[in-house]
Amino acid sequence: MGLLTGKVALVTGSAQGLGAGCATAFTQHGARVACVDLNRDGLERAAAELVAGGAEAIALPCDVANREQVDAAVAATVQKFGRLDILVNAAMTQRLVRFDRSTEADLLDAYRSSVLGTYNFMMASFPHLKENGGKVINFGSASGTGGEAGMATYAAAKEAVRGLSKAVAVEWGRFEIAVNVICPIGTSPAHEQWAASIGPEAVAEVLKPFPIKRMGDPVHDIGGVAVFLASSLSDYMTGRTLFADGGRGSFR
């Protein structure tokens, strides 16, 4: 029996990176998973890999900023699996741009993919989550909590997600719905491309402030924290932010 046996999770941004890591970790602990992403090809590959490994998973292409598509994705999840217990909002468009060179479009893209997407899925999932009590796991960032050059629009959106999460945690506690946030640092295709472009010595320099001097593994390190927050082990936690970042955020 896994920590999530019998549970159904919907994970946005699950075509790759940290969202895919959470989806994989959930299936390893017995959950059935609806994988959601705008990247149809990557999404279908990710879901197919889970199924090939013996998991129950479906792929649901969706623009998280489009409420009709979000409603359809939630409805398809419940129709397929009969319930919805866990919602993970990992989808996010990230653009590295210095603030004085950023545009309104940069800010709006960040908000649409992160804040609006999180809002949409929380609203659409609420009727199902409150049936048996549920777990919502949203994604923040140390770029927002601690500040980081080139990440202003991204950081603004991520801090908005944290504010939304804390307020909704207060409102939904009476339904036994826990709403928590992970601020992660982990590997992803974008990170791997960046690391290859700057070389191992530059990567080592970046990792110097990290007490644990490596990037987090999407499944074990980030997905593991998500499994904890999705399981009954965290039933008395809500409105909190957990940093899965090798300790970096603790020293900023």
Spatial strand order of the sheet with 57-61 comes to: 57-61, 32-37, 8-12, 86-89, 134-139, 177-184, 241-244
The rounded distance, in Å, linking the Cα atoms of 135 and 225 is 13
Question: E strand or H helix at 70, and its extent?
Answer: helix 67-81
Residue with tokens 């504010």: 163
Spatial neighbors of 156 by CB under 8 A, at least 6 apart, are: 107, 110, 111, 144
The rounded distance, in Å, linking the Cα atoms of 206 and 199 is 11
**Token digits of residue 224:** 């593991």
The rounded distance, in Å, linking the Cα atoms of 98 and 125 is 35
With the CA atoms of 14, 22, 209 and 101 taken in that order, what torsion angle do they form, in degrees rounded to the nearest 10?
20
**Which one is catalytic: 111, 119, 154, 236?**
154
* Residues paired with residue 35 on neighbouring β-strands, in sequence order: 11, 59
**Token digits of residue 45:** 């590959």
Exposure string over 93-128, b if 16+ CB within 10 A, otherwise e: bbeeeeeeebeeebbebbbbbbbbbbbbbbebbbeb
Is 154 annotated in the active site?
A: yes
Indicate the SS3 state at residue 97: coil
Active site residues: 154
